[in-house]
Amino acid sequence: MKRVSKVLIACLALILQQACSNVEESPYVRLALQTEPATLDPAYSVDYSSGMLSSLVHANLVRYTPEGELAPDLALSWEISQDGMTYTFHLAPARFSCGRSVEADDVVYSFERLLDPGTVSPRWWVLDPVLGAKAYHRNGIGPVPGLEAPDDSTVVIRLERPSPHFAGLLAMPAAGIVCREDLAALGDRYGRSPCGCGPWRLAEWREADEIVLAPNEGYRGEKPLVEGLSFRIIPETMTRIAEFEVGNLDILEIPRAELDMWRAAGHALLETEELRIVYIGLNNARPPFDDVRVRRALNMAVDVEAIIAHVLFGGATKAKGVVPSGLRRSPYPPEPYPYDPDRAVGLLAEAGYPDGFEMEIWQRENPEGGRILESIQAYLGRVGVRAKLVTREWSAFKQAVDHGTPDAFYLDWFADYPDAENFLSPLFHSSNRGGGGNRSGYASGSVDSLLDEAALGRDPDERWELYRRAEEIVLDDAPWIFLWFPTRYEIVSPRLRGYRMPVIFNGQSFLDVSF
């Protein structure tokens, strides 16, 4: 095996050396997408590719930096009233890529369109805290009282209740500002021919092949330092690797299984702990998973650290809580569920299952997920739990999980915005059971109360203390088998300068990169 690895490394070095001399330098930053965007319409951009590209083409009032900090975008500045109920945004001069100036009415129009029940946007909830938003989404009778444009460069947003993370919601792709005239002219075709006011404009879209973005000369902020961005649609991992090796890509996400090879070849890798948690959700409403002793036993039955080391090649951190380290204001609690199969067997016996039981774990089609679940299946078998693995394509899987069909399911959760609230309220508040995010059906009055109180708070330390207490209860109740926070690895072409790896999926605007 070591000899094979050395040969592969030598070949890789040779290929890269040849690539530097044989491949013509492109004026574009060249990237790869695993999946083609479904649309570039902000109202419908729910998948990774759609959200990331939509955020490049459309400006928001505010945006995220690669480090996950809020920064001005279309808004030059903003103020928040003392009671946290009114946000006033002052817009910078900007133009849509089709040429028209951006005005405050465009912001109001874009937000009312997102909320309009006729739009049927799955992301309307981004504006849920706005005064009158829920009523407008329900009946479509406007205008929305919480949205106002007193002049061409000022937007005033009034809330129904304080929402400490509201500004972060406005940085999500769904809150991108669209051109009313273009939408009226294009209708359903807008998602393929958007007219945004972001730093980039759509120059070309060759289906299942390539999407090219060029600078939007009307963008209000700094201008890009490169001629454009090229996103090639390359679903196959090995093809993406080969394209990077021959110099046809500038940024490559490294599969965990390949880390040692790339490091041994002398390449410095960028890495970050993703704002993402991987878990096995347990159907808390169904026996035997309605018994907390069973849920705790399943956590103790699985050696998560061993799976990280041997299946994920060290590319993750064990989840000792549900909030990632980058969003915490205090350390993790003591290890809640160390690997202890003997204790797991004892808990199962206490719960009335001395001989274990049978269960199904559902997963979507995913080769790595299959290997992971086979390991988990083996660990559960050692304590008498006979797990059958069920694989479904994504839409069928999601529908089944949202309706509580499986005993258990293997899933992950990406941050919509970098706030601890996003890893607690959607996933564990009882009001979000089902498709709202709480797919395990977990319900705790104590957790609900803590999360509701935190949602009204403004002091960061006080909010975090409430979230910490809620997390502590969730860990004790064990509605999931808690697995890990993945680490993302990337390698960047030597010709590319200024690239910073984003912690949030739409946190890289490519304005600072150059050759």
Residue 47 counted as domain residue: yes
- Asked whether the predicted pLDDT for residue 239 surpasses 50, the reply is yes
- Asked whether the predicted pLDDT for residue 8 surpasses 70, the reply is no
Q: Are residues 362 and 470 in the same domain?
A: yes
Please report which confidence band the pLDDT of residue 227 belongs to, taking 50, 70 and 90 as the band edges.
very high
- Asked whether the predicted pLDDT for residue 249 surpasses 80, the reply is yes
Who's near 158: CB < 8 A, 6+ residues apart? Answer: 85, 86, 87, 130, 131, 145, 146, 148
pLDDT, position 263: 85
> For 399-452, how does the pLDDT look when each residue is reduced to its tens digit (9 = 90+)?
999 999 999 999 999 998 899 999 999 999 999 999 889 999 999 999 999 999
- Asked whether the predicted pLDDT for residue 162 surpasses 50, the reply is yes
Tokens describing residue 249:
């890509």
- Domain finish residue from 145, 173, 198: 198
Residue 252 counted as domain residue: no
pLDDT, position 23: 53
Report the CATH number at residue 297.
3.10.105.10
Q: Are residues 175 and 296 in the same domain?
A: no
Average pLDDT, rounded, for the chain: 93
User: Side-chain half-sphere of 202: how many Cα atoms within 13 Å?
Assistant: 22
- Asked whether the predicted pLDDT for residue 12 surpasses 60, the reply is no
Residue 243 counted as domain residue: no
pLDDT, position 25: 82
Report the CATH number at residue 188.
3.90.76.10
pLDDT, position 369: 84
What's the rounded Cα separation, in Å, for the pair 463 and 469? 10
- Asked whether the predicted pLDDT for residue 143 surpasses 90, the reply is yes
Mean pLDDT within 487-493: 96
Q: Are residues 464 and 375 in the same domain?
A: yes
- Domain finish residue from 182, 198, 214: 198
Q: Are residues 311 and 182 in the same domain?
A: no
- Asked whether the predicted pLDDT for residue 78 surpasses 60, the reply is yes
Residue 209 counted as domain residue: no
pLDDT, position 458: 84
- Helix/strand/coil percentages in the chain, nearest 5: 35, 20, 40
> For 173-223, how does the pLDDT look when each residue is reduced to its tens digit (9 = 90+)?
999 999 999 999 999 999 999 999 999 999 999 999 999 999 999 999 889
- Asked whether the predicted pLDDT for residue 329 surpasses 60, the reply is yes
Q: Are residues 341 and 475 in the same domain?
A: yes
Q: Are residues 321 and 458 in the same domain?
A: yes
**Range in 118-122, 392-396, 505-509 with the lowest mean pLDDT:** 392-396
Mean pLDDT within 495-506: 95
Please report which confidence band the pLDDT of residue 18 belongs to, taking 50, 70 and 90 as the band edges.
low
> For 42-53, how does the pLDDT look when each residue is reduced to its tens digit (9 = 90+)?
999 988 899 999
Q: Are residues 342 and 464 in the same domain?
A: yes
Q: Are residues 191 and 296 in the same domain?
A: no
Mean pLDDT within 250-256: 93
Residue 222 counted as domain residue: no
Share of residues in the chain with pLDDT > 90 (%): 85
- Domain finish residue from 198, 216, 231: 198
Residue 376 counted as domain residue: yes
Residue 503 counted as domain residue: no
Please report which confidence band the pLDDT of residue 265 belongs to, taking 50, 70 and 90 as the band edges.
confident
- Asked whether the predicted pLDDT for residue 40 surpasses 70, the reply is yes
Mean pLDDT within 258-269: 86
End-to-end CA distance of the chain: 38
pLDDT, position 365: 86
Please report which confidence band the pLDDT of residue 17 belongs to, taking 50, 70 and 90 as the band edges.
low
pLDDT, position 186: 95
**Tally of domains in the chain:** 2
Please report which confidence band the pLDDT of residue 309 belongs to, taking 50, 70 and 90 as the band edges.
very high
> DSSP label at 461?
H
Please report which confidence band the pLDDT of residue 79 belongs to, taking 50, 70 and 90 as the band edges.
very high
- Asked whether the predicted pLDDT for residue 22 surpasses 60, the reply is no
What's the rounded Cα separation, in Å, for the pair 126 and 120? 13
Q: Are residues 303 and 170 in the same domain?
A: no
> For 92-112, how does the pLDDT look when each residue is reduced to its tens digit (9 = 90+)?
999 999 999 999 999 999 999
Q: Which domain holds residue 122?
A: 42-198
pLDDT, position 31: 98
Residue 440 counted as domain residue: yes
The reply to whether the predicted model has a pTM over 0.75 is yes
Mean pLDDT within 1-13: 46
What's the rounded Cα separation, in Å, for the pair 76 and 54? 21
Name residue, tokens 């304005």.
Answer: 511
Which H or E element spans position 343?
Answer: helix 341-350
Instruction: Name the region of 505 (left: φ>0; alpha: ψ -120 to 50; beta: rest).
Output: alpha
Please report which confidence band the pLDDT of residue 21 belongs to, taking 50, 70 and 90 as the band edges.
very low
